[in-house]
Structure 1
Amino acid sequence: MQRGVIIQLLILLLVIVNKSNGISSPIKPFTTYKHSAELQTNVADLWWIVDDAEREIIFEFHVKTTGWIALGISPAGGMRGADIGVGWVDLAGIVHFQDRHAFGMSPPVIDNTTTDWFPLQGREQNGWTSIQFKRLLDTCDSMDVPIKSGTNIVIFAYGLVDPDLSRSDGDISYHDTRRGTRMIPLRSYGNPPSEEKFAGLDSFEFCALNYRVPSEESTYYCKVYKAPTQFLTKRHAIAHQVLVDSTNRDLVHHLVVYECDPAATFDDANLPDDVCDNVYAHVHMCMSNSAIVWAVGGDD
């Protein structure tokens, strides 16, 4: 018998994943983005792409309103200290955009240091407002919040009417309950080394091939793999990469690789491979020592 490794997948049906992680906006984005997120169902959608060479990030924000919209980076999840971009499209189709800073629960003020949020284009269509804009990842502005590697706290809000800058009381209206907060990995968690760094090293794969997803809202799938036996001396695993076929990317929610207890034994010719509930009696000794964890939104 050979010591084994178990891999556990939570697989969601495509229709369920699309419903929970889909995009509501009827407006086509101005360009192709690497990332997107539905901030609020049928209300607010966000696309973005990071240009590491230029050290900047490009956002496209769609909100179901014909009033002002705002997207901010918050240091702690609330308005206090947040760096906020506020924009709207007027009746003539002209995009207005402002760099603002929030000191507390009062309306965010115009950033009086440097302007670091820049509008690119925008439009109103079918009751939605969409604006594309950019800013540097780190502006070195005391009134801004750096966008760092890893998870960032994004806040958003919107109003029902455009500001009227010709009036003394024409600032953005109070958003009331039209606001939200999300924790999103806007940037990669790190700069992974190039594949050349691992050239010449031994590697092996654990593959889940041709698994037919059941017609259930969610499925936990378990499969036990036999660890490699060709190594004559002790080896250390120093890196891993998660590969999910692009056609299945919307199905896989998370993945966990466990190391089985040394006391666990299996028939090498008939390793468990089924819905986890069906094989739990055989694999329960392999579900406590996790070696790799990956989930939607994480790097490969």
Structure 2
Amino acid sequence: MKRTIAVMVMMSMMVMGSSETTLRGPDSPCALNPDADLPFTVELSPDKFHVSWAFDSDQIVLEARVRTRGWVGLGLSSTGKMAGSDVVIGWVDSAAATHLVDGHIEGERSLVRDASQDYKLVRLSENGTHTVMRVVRALRTCDPNDRDITEDTMRLIWACKDDDPKSEAEISYHGPMNRGTKSLQLLSSRPRSQPELPQDRSTFDIVQDKFPIPPASTFYACKIFSLPNLNKKHHLVEVEPIIDPGSEALVHHMIVYVCPDTVNASHVGVTQQCYVAQEADSFFTCTSALAAWAIGGGTFEYPPAAGYSLGMPEDPRFVLLEIHYNNPSGLTGNEDSSGLRFHYTTQLRRFDAGLLMAGIFVSPFHFIPPNSDSFATYGICDTNSFSTLNRSGETQVDGEMQVFASLLHSHLAGISLQARHFRNGTQIGDIGREPNYDFNFQETRHLKKIVTVLPGDKIVMECVYRTTNRNKTTLGGMATEDEMCLTFLHYYPKVNVSSCLSMSDVPSMAALLGYTTTGMYPYVITSPPKDAGSYLFMVFNEINWTAERTRDAERTALTSQQLVIQQQMSSVNFIYNGIIPGIPADPTLPPCVHNKCGRNGSLPAATAASPTAPLLATLMLLLLARAICD
């Protein structure tokens, strides 16, 4: 009879449910064990503030380990600043009592407790030097004051104070030295593609050698290297950044380009400024990207199925290292030896990998008007002419690509980037997406699922910019203050194309702005007479960029014919015309309701509460009462 009563109690509790949110154990299908080890960690402030975390499809566990005996705080912000951020603050008082506040910031600094306390305390402790706060929260709480935690870039803010507050209402301002922000992809497992690198691997470094960084806001340094002389085929399996201590804030991105075998031997080992008229001819011939790294990124690993081929007659013998130094403060006296380390092996994978650069052709004809909250530009690549390269470098017929990773790239004005994937005129997905783009956090990301790009598919690179802090037109170019719109796609098997870039029709844009130009590059203005002989980009700042004209320019750039420049592996350019297909609206999240795990999020229909639930609960209670009476 006791067993019957116990079963009845359990069944009645299951039917009636509970309004209380509890931490679930490791055996629950929705559970993330909040007491387990946290596999991911980042140092937010050296020897002061560390954060570790773990997550599943429903929730995230965050732990702050901070050198302080006062309060500690973590937050999520759209800008990296306090204003409007979603925060959690905790401390242990002098009586060893713990305090936790789930709140948000109103105005610049005012902490306001959320009506719904969605951060749940796992543990909060302090010792003689540190305070440790571990909390758990649903990824999507449905609280309007909470930010959804997604797979996109999240701006994590942190702060601490050395003294405990007397009360929640008296949490004092942390000051300028005890705070910071860091962009992270919190929901990225970043698994290694293999448990460990092959034992027989070898390495070589492509690095600068104490290069004196000029006191210029933007400087591109290029250096040519010869690769190891390999007598048989190898596969490159990993590329590791080497950032010289002291150069972390100055090295913005690095790209290694393949050079032709005809490169002048006297230029090997020489560093020159890139993209200037005085640059030696050899440097201009290195155009096919082999590897790319940008600030915020880490080590890049090829998947077990593929590696970049080295050592064959058609493989590169010479490469060029391009480093973009970003030095807006004009610092002097810095020498840099940064670069990339390449891990390669004789244990061959099934496929040869390649790297495709797609997007908008870098030129001043790519422009963004000033004072715009949102201005979108597009570049297109049609893969119809792509052919697969076999192991001897000869082309085959299909040209199918399996894309496994992407790096999205723009400069300071970029706020949202997406590589859209079209088939038969319809977008069928994306090949990389970052709606919260951060110039200082650019990493090559492995896609959750490999994307198959078939011959004839179109890759459309979309970049959205914000220029509300600029009163002059922003042009495409190499400087940090200029703009780019590019994606680097890692894929296999290797095809015959290294870059596929486009630019919108300049004469069409000129007509919209009241000018006529010649019909071919470099598009010289022919009227009005006062501007005749100038290039169109030279008069952009003479234009009255009203909101209406800005929208018309955005629409014209989207609908006009595109000039596509496709570079073959042989360095021969193939030029054709293209049209950007119809851009669909991005999907929106479903309504936010309680989910099957007792927290909040998107609810599967089968788990919704039904009108019969109260009746069933009553029936179970009656059966329970009868069992007790018996």
**TM-score between the two structures when normalised by the length of structure 1:** 0.59
User: Secondary structure of the residue that 1:108 maps to in structure 2?
Assistant: strand
Q: Describe the superposition over 1:191-218 as per-residue Cα deviations: whole angstroms up to 9, x where unpaired.
A: x9xx9xxxxxxxxxx979433689x999
Matched, 1:283 2:345: no
Q: Would you say the 8 A contact 1:159–1:172 is kept in 2?
A: no
Correspondent of 2:90 among 66, 87, 92? 87
Q: Which residue of 1 aligns with 2:171?
A: 172
Q: Describe the superposition over 1:216-244 as per-residue Cα deviations: whole angstroms up to 9, x where unpaired.
A: 999x996789599xxxxxxxxxxxxx976
Q: Would you say the 8 A contact 2:51–2:62 is kept in 1?
A: yes
Q: Describe the superposition over 1:252-287 as per-residue Cα deviations: whole angstroms up to 9, x where unpaired.
A: 348x997857x6589737977xxxxxxxxx423798
Task: Give the deviation of 1:108 after TM superposition.
Answer: 1.4
* Structure 1 residues 285 and 48: alpha-carbon distance in aligned structure 2, compared to 1, 3 A threshold: closer
Correspondent of 1:46 among 42, 48, 51? 51
Which of structures 1 and 2 has the bigger CA Rg? 2
Correspondent of 2:111 among 108, 111, 114? 108
* Structure 1 residues 270 and 286: alpha-carbon distance in aligned structure 2, compared to 1, 3 A threshold: farther
Residue identity matched to 2:37 = T
Residue identity matched to 1:158 = C
Q: Which residue of 1 aligns with 2:63?
A: 60
* Structure 1 residues 30 and 50: alpha-carbon distance in aligned structure 2, compared to 1, 3 A threshold: closer
Q: Which residue of 2 aligns with 1:3?
A: none
Q: Would you say the 8 A contact 1:264–1:285 is kept in 2?
A: no
Matched, 1:97 2:96: no
5 Å-filtered alignment, 1:76-225, equals 76-112=79-115, 114-165=116-167, 171-177=170-176, 178-188=178-188, 209-211=200-202
* Structure 1 residues 222 and 66: alpha-carbon distance in aligned structure 2, compared to 1, 3 A threshold: farther
Give me the identity figure in percent.
26
Task: Give the deviation of 1:49 after TM superposition.
Answer: 0.4
Q: Would you say the 8 A contact 2:139–2:150 is kept in 1?
A: yes
Cα distance in 1 between the residues matched to 2:226 and 2:123: 45
Q: Would you say the 8 A contact 1:150–1:189 is kept in 2?
A: no
**TM-score between the two structures when normalised by the length of structure 2:** 0.30
* Structure 1 residues 134 and 175: alpha-carbon distance in aligned structure 2, compared to 1, 3 A threshold: same
Q: Would you say the 8 A contact 2:77–2:85 is kept in 1?
A: yes
**Superposition RMSD on alpha carbons, in Å?**
4.6
Cα distance in 2 between the residues matched to 1:131 and 1:297: 31
Cα distance in 1 between the residues matched to 2:42 and 2:165: 27
Task: Give the deviation of 1:130 after TM superposition.
Answer: 0.4
Task: Give the deviation of 1:31 after TM superposition.
Answer: 4.1
Q: Would you say the 8 A contact 2:234–2:311 is kept in 1?
A: no
Matched, 1:268 2:271: no
Q: Would you say the 8 A contact 1:121–1:131 is kept in 2?
A: yes
Task: Give the deviation of 1:87 after TM superposition.
Answer: 0.3
Cα distance in 2 between the residues matched to 1:139 and 1:221: 54
User: Secondary structure of the residue that 2:75 maps to in structure 1?
Assistant: strand
Cα distance in 1 between the residues matched to 2:311 and 2:41: 44
Cα distance in 2 between the residues matched to 1:132 and 1:180: 19
Residue identity matched to 2:166 = D
User: Secondary structure of the residue that 1:119 maps to in structure 2?
Assistant: strand
Correspondent of 2:74 among 66, 71, 79? 71
For this pair of structures, how many residues does the alignment match? 223
